[in-house]
Structure 1
Amino acid sequence: MSGEGREPQAIRKLGPGKLVIASHNKGKIVEIRELLAPYGVEPVSAGDLDLPEPEETGTTFVANAELKALAAADLSGLPALADDSGLCVEALGGDPGIFSARWGGPQKDFDMAMRLVEDRLGETPDAPRDAHFVCALALAWPDGHVEWFEGRVDGTLVWPPRGTQGHGYDPMFRPNGYDTTFAEMDSDTKSGISHRGDAFRQLVKAVF
């Protein structure tokens, strides 16, 4: 297993073949497919296999990623990769955090979720706008073995949202050192600095 600040030491390598992306989030699936493209795996989404979405009962990003990856691996009989990620806003005590998708309601309306974040920040005059994204990746095999990797990127929240690329909270997140939001960046630029890109680089170094 791997955590922030530790060198990934994979017990098991991942060979060529089918790999389930344990997600029903279309934007996330596209991003993960692009990151996996160079490594000889054949990604299939949980939706393609009609796999149900398990209830996310974990209290951390890693726990929820493991839960989703293990469920998909067990039901499909294939290795499965799950991502659990979210936006953590310092002035909101780390919220929305692991509940990032749920702030968008049953329809996962991220325009509504971003507005809710902005409204909550507005309740405190001069609230700092520091925030960070976290991405936990869990790679599970049908026998229950799991490897996990966690990435992070820090930045500032902007309002109104800007850009049409990316997904989720990307239009209101400007990474440190950049003048553009994630939603204003092309996918290569974003992947080079993002929380998901960070976690993937750890995974690639460890398992391929």
Structure 2
Amino acid sequence: MRLVLASNNAKKLSELRALLGGLPLSIVAQGELGIAEAEEPHHTFIENALAKARHAARASGGAAIADDSGLCVGALGGAPGVISAHYGGEVAVIDGEDREARRRRQDAVNNAALLAALDGAADRRGHFISTLVAVRHADDPEPLVAVGRWPGEVLVAPRGSQGFGYDPLMFIPALNVTVAELDADTKNAHSHRARSAALLREMLVNVWHLS
């Protein structure tokens, strides 16, 4: 089965291919099919993920999967939340700059904004959350929904050079490292997306009968 990923994030595509490996699936990014990114106007991860999955399914005429993920910090009332990707404000477009270079600049702005918001905070606990939604077609009345959370603490300064987003600031006490200090295999074994993907895998097998 072809499953269109409602994202053009190369790292997210790589992670999901690894996490759902072994199933009879071919996961392709929507950009490869010329599908534009969907609007994400909602206040919750599940609503945005469902909107993106239905958009990709409608445009491709088949099954689609979407992930809406981010960082939630209790002391900030759940922020950055659904605006995690541009918490510090959208960075300006630079002519000739590729997508990944712009993403790195955006990550730096977001991390700075998070550190400023938590300046002096005693409680720095938070969690990464991944909400995965899969639909067989755009009007699927029974979307598969899987939610994974990965708890940690926000550091006062970044550590590590792996990963992306808030990974350098998110310290995982259970592993005694930041997410950015983990290799890809270890991250894929423990992450919020690993947890939601494990739940989704079960449903793909038991509900969609893929095996």
User: TM-score band (shorter)?
Assistant: 0.7 to 0.9
Which residue, 183, 187, 192 being the options, matches 2:189? 192
Moved more, 82-91 or 32-41: 32-41
Structure 2 unaligned residues grouped into runs of 5+? 92-102, 206-211
The CA distance in 2 between the partners of 1:70 and 1:180, in whole Å, is 37
Give yes or no for contact 2:70–2:81 (8 Å, CA) kept in 1: yes
Structure 1 unaligned residues grouped into runs of 5+? 1-16
Local SS of the residue matching 1:66: helix
Local SS of the residue matching 1:75: helix
The CA distance in 2 between the partners of 1:187 and 1:34, in whole Å, is 10
2:62 partner letter: L
**Alignment match, 2:59:** 75
**Alpha-carbon deviation of 1:104?**
4.6
Q: What do residues 59-84 of structure 1 show as CA deviations (whole Å, max 9, x unaligned)?
A: 21111100000000011012101000
The CA distance in 2 between the partners of 1:63 and 1:129, in whole Å, is 27
Matched, 1:159 2:156: yes
Pairs within 5 Å for 1:82-121: 82-107=66-91, 108=103, 109-121=106-118
Pairs within 5 Å for 1:1-40: 17-40=1-24
What value does the CA root-mean-square deviation take over the aligned residues? 1.4
Percent identical pairs in the alignment equals 39
Give yes or no for contact 2:19–2:198 (8 Å, CA) kept in 1: no
Corresponding residue pairs, total: 190
Which residue, 134, 140, 153 being the options, matches 2:135? 140
Give yes or no for contact 1:70–1:141 (8 Å, CA) kept in 2: no
The CA distance in 2 between the partners of 1:173 and 1:163, in whole Å, is 10
